[in-house]
Every structure is written in C-alpha cells, then in structure tokens.
Chains A and B, each alone.
Chain A
Amino acid sequence: MRQNRTPILLIIGCLALAGAFLYLFYVQPQAGIGAPQPIPFSHRLHAGVKRIACQFCHSYVGRSRHPGIPPVEKCLFCHQYIIARHPQILKEHRYFDTGTPTPWRKVNYLPEHVLFNHQRHIRKQIACRQCHGKIEAMDRIAGKRFKMGFCIKCHKRKGANVGCWLACHS
C-alpha cells in the first residue's frame, strides 16, 4: 500500500480532474442554457409568461424560409412603455439611436449546405416546439445543432419529400 501511494494518489487526482471536467461541462448549472446574448432577453418571460405568439416577433416564418428576428424598433414598440428606464432597455435604445444592428448570438445551427424552409413547415401545421423544443420554458435558448437524421426521421414518418435537392440541399 505504502509503496503504491504515489500512483494511487495520481489516479485519484486524475479521476477528480475528470470528474470536475465532466461536472463543469455537463452538469454545471449554466450548461445547456445557451449562449449569453447582448441583451439578456428571456424567451421564458415573453413566450411563456406573457404568451406572446412566436410569429409576433419572428414574423416572416409563415411567408419565407427564414423566420426573421425582430428589428430593434419592434422591441421598443412595447418597451417604450414597459420597464422603459431599465438599463438593458436603455441599451436597446442606444442600438436604435445609433443605428447599430444587435449582434445576437446564433444558437440554432444548420450546416451551410442545408436550406431549410420555415414556411413549408409552418404551412403543414408543424408546431415550432416540435423542432425547437420548449422555448417558453427557457430563459436563454440552448439551441441545437440539427443533424440530418433528425430531419429524415420526420420526413419519412410523414411521407414528406426526401429528394436531396428538391427537399433540403441545392
């Protein structure tokens, strides 16, 4: 036992480090809540508590392949009156007054060779949460890296188009 102390300690140290790494990477309280955004916008509050419809802000989703993210002016339509003096709203005002686009962090990721069309899915009555999860329960969106299997599984189940170019790529 005594002559094995060093290796044992070494192994225990390694295990502790690995454990700490795993904890910080997966279990740590902040993991999975998504990237911090320039304005700490809460989807839980807007979509969950206040029940604002997704399409109110992502207004192109039913008419275009991109859902669109709301312009700064749209935030201020309400926030001119609601918590108007909040420092983060004042920051929003600064974006507006200086004509600076808000640099939101992208959280949902699709490879460049995939051209997803939101309009088609909205028209087929696919709910947003079916792909994006429970947005109304998240403060910061965790986001997703969409993989081909995820799409194909559903397309096959629903008998949707699985032609390579005709469906997703081009």
Chain B
Amino acid sequence: MDRRTFLKLSGSCAISISAGCNSEPAKHLFSMVRAPQDMVAGQPTWYATTCRECPAGCGMLAKIREGRVIKVEGNPLHAINRGRLCMRGQATLQGIYNPDRIKTALLKHNGKFKPISYARALSLLAQRSRQAADRGPDRVYVLTESVGEFVHAHFSKTLAALNSTRLMVFEPFAYEALKTANRQIFGLDGLCAYRMQTADLIVSLGADFLETWLSPVEYARKFKAMHAARGNAKTGRFFHIGPYRSLTAANADRWLACRPGAEAFVAMGLIRQALNAGAGGALGPAAQQTLRELTAGYRLEKVAAVSGISTDILQHLSQVMLASRRPLFLGTPSAACGPNALQANIGANLLQRILDPELQRIDFNGRHRVETAHRRSEIYSFCRQLAADPQGVLLLHNANLRHCLPPQNGIARALAEKTLFTVSFSNFMDATTRHADLVLPVRLPLESWGEYGGKAGLVSTLQPAMPALTGAPHLVDVLAALIPDVRPGGRYARHSLYTHLKHTGVLRNRLQWTQTLQKGGIFQKFAAEDRPPLPELAEGPHMDALRAMVPPQAGGLSLIAAPSIRVFDGRGANRPWLSEIPDPLTKVAWQTPVQVHPATLAQRGLAQGSVVRVQSEKGVLETPAYASHGTIPDVLIMEIGQGHAGFGRYAQKESVNPFHLFPARTDARSGGPAFYTPLTTIKDSGQRADIVHTDGSRTQHGRQIALAVPVSDLVEGKRPPAPGLTMETFPLTLPLPAGYDKKRDFYPAHPHSRYRWSMIVDLDRCIGCGACAAACYAENNLAVVGKARMLEGREMSWMRIERYLDPEHPERVIFLPMLCQHCDNAPCEPVCPVYAPHHSKEGINNQIYNRCIGTRFCSQNCPYKVRRFNWFDWQRPDPLPLQLNPDVTVRAKGVMEKCSFCVQRIKDAHDRAKNAKRAVFDGEVTPACAQTCPTQALTFGNLMDPHSRVARLVHNPRAYQVMGYLNTKPAVIYLKKVIWEG
C-alpha cells in the first residue's frame, strides 16, 4: 500500500466514522390530549390583547403557534397604535420566556428566599393581611404601576375589604409638571392628548414624544402625518428646544440646544413675540396685560444670553411660529429636567392658548391613562410615613422603587423592617422584590385577563394568549382571595372582567363581549368633546410660578438622566433584545455610558472610554465616558434604565444607575422630581473601558450612503445631474431585466417571471427608533451575542439603523435602516465557492445555510456589511427557545446568515394565493420590520407589478440606491430625507 492510498483510506475511515454513525434521532412526537378548536398544527392563531410594557397601552396581536406565543404585532384596529409597536412592545415576549423569571412563590426565611407553593403563599398572604386589617384601619398598602380600571377596581375592593384606602400608583415618569400646567392653563386636571397630525408646526420644549413621552407609537405616527414629505412638498416643521439631543430632538428640523432650565425662558420670549404681534386676544385684556408685563423682560437677546441659543435662531423660530396657522406647543420630557420644568409646561400651554385660541390641537377626551399615577411628592410622603410607622402589609405590583427612585427616600428602611410584611407580585427578582418578605409572582399580561385603556374613552382588553408558563395565579385571583366570601380560581378572572365591562356599561350582551375580545377592545369615536371650562389667566398660581423662575445654572457641570427608548425606566433591561439593539443615537449596546461633549472631555484630558468619577452632592458613580455631540458642553447625559441590583442575568452588572446621584427632592409647586442634578466634580479614575458601539464611523466620508435633499430643491423640482458613472451621477438602476446595460454589466440579467420583491425605505419618515430591528430579532430567530462578543463586532442583527452625523454640523443626524439590499448584481453571489448565496427567481438573494461552509468571502465582498456570521452556537437559556419561530431555521455555528425579506411570509402569501388560485396581491406580504414601523417608513412589494406601491414609489424624484454607483442594483430603494435649510 503506498502512502497516498493509506492517507485516502484513513481519511475516508475518519469521515465515515464521524459522519456515518449518527444514530436515529431520539425524538418524540407528542400528541395532544384534546385538540383545541382553534389550533391547527403548523398554522398560527392570533389573539388580540394589550401591550403593558409602558403606560401607553398599545393594542397588540399575539401570534400563537402550537400553544406558544412566538411573535407580537400591533393591532391594526386599535385606536392608539394602528397596528404598530415599538421595540419595547416587540420584546414583551422576552418577559414571559425570560430565563430568570420566578417560577414559584418564594418566602424569605432568615434573609434567604425559599420556594413555597402558590397555595401556601396565598394563604399566608391572606392570613397576614387579615391580621393587619384587624389591627386597625389603613394597615394594608398597595403600591402598583399604572393599571387599568379593571385591576384598579380590584385593588380598591380588596383594600376596602381589608379596611384600608392606601392605594398608590407609582410611575417614575408621572408628568407632574405637565399635569399642573394643564390644570392651571387648560383647566384640565390630567393629561390631555394632542392632535399632532393637524399641526403645521410643533415646538417642543423637550417633550420626547418619539421615545417615552405619553404614547410614543401614537405620536410617532401623528408626527409623521404632519411632518413627512408628501409628493413634492413638505409643510410641517418641528423645532425642539432642550439641553440634550434625544431621539425626538434628532428628528427635529432644528434642535435648539439650551441650558437646562432655559426652555421656560424661550417660552417666555416666544409669548412676548406673540403678544407683540397682536395675538392673544382671546385671553382677555386683563390676562393679556399681566402676561405683557410679565414677559416684558424677555427680549429675544436676553433669552439668547440666558439659554445659550443664538438670537438669530430664536428670531427665525419666532418668525416661523408667527407665520404658522396651526401651531402646537409641547412641554418637557417624560423625565422633566432642569429647574423650571413647571414653568416650561405653563409656557407651552400659554403659547397654545395664545396662538390656537380654539385649542383645536388639544384633545381633551383621549386623556392618557398615566395621569392616574400619583405625584412623586405623594410617593415620597407615602414612603416617609411607611418608614416612620412600618406596620402592616405592603403589596407591591411592578413598582420597582429601589431602582427608580433616588436613595434616601425611606422605602429602603421600611422594607427592611420586620413588622412590615412586604409582598411582591413581580416575576423578576428586581431591586425592590429582593427586599420583600414574600414573592408571589402573578401571571404576566400575555397570560392574563384584563383591561387597560391607555386613553380615556377606549376599552382595550387583555386575554390569555397562552397558558400560564409558570402556573402562576391571576393577579385578580390573588386579590379576590384576600376578600372573605369570594372564591376565586377557575374562570373567576374571565368572569370578573366580563362583569366589570358589563357594569361600566360598555357591554350589552355576550355577543358584544366576544366581538370585543376578538377586536381587542372597543374604539368608537366620541360624539362631542367634553371640554372643561378654560380658566381665567389674569392671575393665579401659574403667574406666581412664572414670576419665581430661576435662571439656569451658568458654568459648572450638571447631569441629566434621560429616559431610554430601549428600556423605558429600566423595566425592559432584562429583555436581552433591548440591550443588544444599540441606542439609536449613541449606537452603544448593553451599556449606558455617561455622554459628555467632546470639548468638555478634551478640556479635562479625557477621551471616549475613559472611566470617569462623576460626583454630585448625593453620591458618586464610576462609568465610562462617551463623546457625544448630543449635549451642550456643561451638561452630561446618562440614560435611565441600567445599573440594576438583581433583575436577572441580562440586567445585572450592566452600567450604573444615575438616580444614585439625585436628591430625593420634588418641586414645591408641581410635586415632580428633577431628573437633573448639578455635579460637584468629574474626575478621571485612571481606568479605561471598552464602549460597545456598533457604528464604526460617525460620518459617511462622503460616500453617498444616507442622502438628504433641501425642501426648496424638491419644490422647484430640481433635475438630477446627467447620468454618468461617478458617485454623484450614477443613475438609479432598477433590479429588473430593464436595468441591464451591456456596457456596465458582466453577467446577464436575471429573468423574473411574476415577482421581483423590493422594499422602499423613506428616510424622511424614518425616525431611527429601532422597532424594525426588534421585530426582526423576534421574527427571524436572531441570536443575542452579549456584550463581549459585540465588542468583537459579532452582533447578528439582520436589520440595523445606521446613524450618521453631518461632518460640518455634528448636531444634525440622519438615520438609515440598513438590511440586505437583495441586489440584482449581488457581490456576494459570485465569490462563494459553494454557491450558497443564490439568486432566486423572485429576486431574493437566498442564503442556503446547509450549503454554507463558512468561508465568509460573501461578507467580505458585501459593500453594505449586512451579512452576519455565526461564530458560535449561540446560547438561548430555557425557556427562551419557546419563542423561536418554527418557520425559520435556527442557524448553527459556522454558517453565514442575513435578511431574507421574511421569506417565510412570502411563502405563506404564495400558499394563500395558490389555494385561492390567484396572484399575490400588493400589500399581502409585509416583512416584520415594515409591519411594525410606527411611521410607515418601509414599504414592501412586487416591483414587477406596475400598480404596486413600490413600483410607483421608485419614480419618486427622491429615490436613490445606497452606493448604487457600485452597480449592485439593490432592490432596497431609499427616498432621500427632506430637510429645511436655515
């Protein structure tokens, strides 16, 4: 035997031993015991329910496959979100399937939790609360997040049976300043809604309505309804005034960076301008006179000096405002920052009354449910009372006070007392639940019956989309068990919801009940507006407040805690998708570094990545610094939501909690907290940390990636340059046989018979919120790789939002959703030695996972960098795999993957069409990203159909292809953003 034969034989032996000897897969097929009526194996079932990830209350449809929720989508019938969801809504799934979810009741014994049964926990709770009730009135306390009428009524009933009235609703963002201003100026004790879509100008004094403010999905839609370009025109304008660039500010036509607290001064200056221009007649002469006197000192030059905004820009704003016919003025952010938050809101509301005397932009009926939250001052006094007299039973329902409040508020002391029996209904071991005596997890919203109308006047129901994963009881069952003579369990929760809706008069019969559950609620229009009488403005507490305005701090550093679009107040921090998807503006994943202006960093000899010690009167934090143009030099920004003590593996040990630097103080007039504190020092700790940012570069280096066009060019119909072969002149080339040019193309054109799938991305509509990315993670079984792997650039996102700063004006931002471009002339295809990227007859660039051998040539050759390689078999701790979409392969180690245009949905549509013997119609296929986009920036369809939306949109003069000059002929066609000059 010669050497070659020996090697051949031993090689083939080794291969046959390793490959040939795989045994019969030890797999079972489990039959059901009873087949549910609505379940067909392999077909999804949809249930309408309501999102409870924030107080907005969007309608949600849960997609069930084989008894498990695998995806959530917005409910198209719902009045609030019209079928769209934000990334927090998409991540609801990772709450129920969270590996750190508490699976049993826990009782604290000698400082350690021991598992007990739900029944035992329930009887213990009943016994302790009865004992507390017997000891005297008001000995049982409830501290809950904002809940719907239904649960609220149950809390009240239980408390009444236990001889108590102490029901506190805690929301970290409770809009105290806005509520106070609404009462003083609009006569409305609560939170009105805004008819943003009817405005032609929005001036926001910081309101971050695209991220967390009141109802972000709803306002994102309404904002784009007024602001997006229509045809060859754009009328809506949006000015944002605030010390830092939130996502909302980044979407404004102008972000006017001011000192914290100066927003109110700008408002005063604008009131003065408006009054001088003769507006405000509707206020009455007395009020006009007082306001005139009050604002006399706020000449624009003075306002400019105080706020740090230039006089020219203020002058411009004032002109635009006076020219506007339907202006809308919004107040401060959810986390109202700066010392004059109340005054800023009063100013905004005054401007509204002056320039919109009929208040047509204000919707007094659709009041936001979060208005039921108690003011922070009331929460603090509750905590103090509890600390002073810690007796009785405290029931906590998703109120994470230890995380969301600055320390020194008394709650820590109260929780530590043995005489106060604390029960947490939380499913997660968060900072507050850790200190409870009994943890009695209740069903999460996707498993519960309930009702949560995010806005007054609409009913939005919740129904169990799947059986309780952990066997936990319903919250209402637990509460009812504390009332003598009530026997909950069984169908009690469902029945009590029915009775509740019947008693409130919204249901007349059983049929309507079924219809309501199917639709997800009742969303009828209001007959007439129920508007409170407008208060007289000549004198009153608002004038006192305006007179007591304090000038913003000039010089010296301060810190603002900014609400996070990803994790809200921190409640989403244990959902790995939300941490993995980078922040839209910093592009930092997992961490929340302190954002410092580059000038401030340079001045102190620091750089991005330096770990700094940030010190305030109340505490000190060590955290890496991020160089950001999204703030003014004296102001540091830190996102709220990380720095959890506990809360599971995904939240623990991530970054720091900025609230540790804040005093537990509230504003005397509004009772609201300041999410703002002056800093004493910021020092270099000498250490350096890696920042997990995914952006690579902040600018486009002139490569024609994300493009914008001035409004004037659009209106004038400026012609594109004559077609050529340069970066600027390369013509738009459609990915169709018609796009073949024998001078430019090496390969022949791809034939398509009936379909050529394509996507249009309107950059003028994209707000960069990242909902699309989250939906993609959910739909396509994308892996979460974690911080360490992300630092190596190994994130797996198929859809990402690219954020580019203008090199000359780094405060200006443009967002670009980037996904596989499904090029007609795809650079990935010819370089693969095994033909794994493959062009389908419908134009989709397929990636055949089982054929891929992992050379990664395709990724190297892809100019858009949208291909992702599986360097590892990614971990999904149980029960996260239950969320996986069974229609999409879970990719293994060593395989390249990328966006498929949600081919599983295309196949579903083909199936439906074939069954009905017709063609797939326009709009029948919607990829997950386009489905959830709150502003409808993404349109998907068939380019071969001349009547489809995409085929019409490609003729838009704004249409272009990203790096089309490479002759890749992408099927993703972008429409340029439209910007106002000046």
- Using a CB–CB cutoff of 8 Å, the interface residues on chain A facing chain B are 35, 60, 63-66, 68-74, 95-96, 99-106, 109, 111-113, 115, 117, 119-120, 123, 163-166, 169-170
Contact = CB atoms under 8 A, between A and B. Distances in A.
Given A117-B907, A120-B911, A123-B915, 9 more contacts: A60-B41, A68-B41, A71-B31, A101-B33, A105-B27, A109-B25, A113-B889, A163-B840, A169-B889
B241 to A, nearest CB: 48
Interface in B1-49: 24-25, 27-35, 40-43
B850 interface: yes
B31 A101 contact: yes
B383 to A, nearest CB: 47
B844 A165 contact: yes
Given A60-B42, A64-B40, A119-B911, A170 B33 contact: no
A123 B24 CA distance: 31
Contact of B31 (A63, A64, A69, A166): A69
Nearest to A113: B889
A104 B846 contact: no
B903 A66 contact: no
Interface residues of B, number: 37
A104 B848 CA distance: 31
A123 B889 contact: no
28 contacts: A63-B43, A64-B42, A68-B40, A70-B31, A72-B34, A73-B34, A101-B32, A104-B28, A105-B29, A111-B850, A112-B890, A113-B850, A119-B911, A119-B915, A123-B915, A163-B840, A163-B842, A165-B848, A166-B840, A166-B841, A166-B903, A166-B906, A166-B907, A169-B849, A169-B850, A170-B888, A170-B900, A170-B904
B166 interface: no
Interface in B128-159: none
Given A117-B911, A166-B840, A100 B33 contact: yes
B30 A101 contact: yes
B183 interface: no
Nearest to B886: A115
Contacts of A71: 31-35
Given A60-B42, A113-B850, A72 B31 contact: yes
Contacts of A60: 40-43
Nearest to A64: B42
Contacts of A117: 907, 911
A105 B26 CA distance: 8
Contacts of A119: 911, 915
Contacts of B848: 164-165, 169
Contact of B903 (A73, A99, A165): A165
Contacts of B120: none
Contact of A69 (B25, B29, B911): B29
Nearest to A69: B31
A64 B887 CA distance: 12
A57 to B, nearest CB: 10
Nearest to B841: A163
B292 interface: no
A112 B889 contact: yes
Contacts of A68: 40-42
Contacts of A170: 887-889, 900, 903-904, 907
Nearest to B35: A71
Contacts of A74: 35
B910 interface: yes
A102 B30 contact: yes
B850 A104 contact: no
Contacts of A120: 911, 914
Contacts of A95: 33
B838 interface: yes
A163 B890 CA distance: 20
Given A60-B41, A63-B43, A64-B40, A166 B842 contact: yes
Contacts of A105: 27-29
A58 to B, nearest CB: 10
Contacts of B840: 163-166
Nearest to A98: B33
B839 to A, nearest CB: 10
Nearest to B850: A113
Contacts of A72: 31-34
Contacts of B30: 101-104
Given A104-B31, A166-B841, A35 B42 contact: no
B878 to A, nearest CB: 18
A66 B29 CA distance: 12
A107 to B, nearest CB: 9
A73 B33 contact: yes
Given A96-B33, A166-B907, A113 B41 contact: no
A17 to B, nearest CB: 18
Contacts of A99: 33
Interface string B907-927: 100110011000000000000
Nearest to B842: A166
Contact of A103 (B28, B841, B914): B28
Contacts of B844: 165-166
A158 to B, nearest CB: 15
A65 B900 contact: no
Nearest to A95: B33
B35 A66 contact: no
B851 to A, nearest CB: 8
Contacts of A69: 29, 31
Contacts of A115: 887, 889, 904
A95 B32 CA distance: 10
A76 to B, nearest CB: 10
A95 to B, nearest CB: 7
Contacts of A64: 40-43
Interface in B833-890: 838, 840-842, 844, 846, 848-850, 887-890
Given A123-B914, A163-B842, A65 B42 contact: yes
A165 B846 CA distance: 6
Contacts of A73: 33-35
B29 A104 contact: yes
B629 to A, nearest CB: 42
Nearest to B885: A170
Contacts of A66: 41-42
Residue of B844, B849, B907, B911 contacting most chain A CB atoms (<10 Å): B907
Contacts of B33: 71-73, 95-96, 99-101
A106 B911 contact: no
A108 B72 CA distance: 32
Contacts of B914: 120, 123
A145 B645 CA distance: 50
B921 to A, nearest CB: 18
Contacts of A102: 30-31
Interface in B206-227: none
A96 to B, nearest CB: 6
A68 B31 CA distance: 8
Nearest to A118: B42
Nearest to A109: B25
B884 to A, nearest CB: 11
Nearest to A57: B31
B25 A106 contact: yes
Contacts of B32: 71-72, 101
Contacts of B889: 112-113, 115, 169-170
A64 B39 CA distance: 11
A102 B841 CA distance: 43
A64 to B, nearest CB: 4
Contacts of A163: 840-842, 846
Residue of A99, A119, A163, A164 contacting most chain B CB atoms (<10 Å): A164
Contact of B910 (A104, A113, A166, A169): A166
B24 A35 contact: yes
B928 to A, nearest CB: 13
A113 B889 CA distance: 5
A165 B42 contact: no
**3 A-B pairs with the lowest CB-CB distances in the bound complex, closest first:** A66-B42, A64-B42, A101-B30
Contacts of A123: 914-915
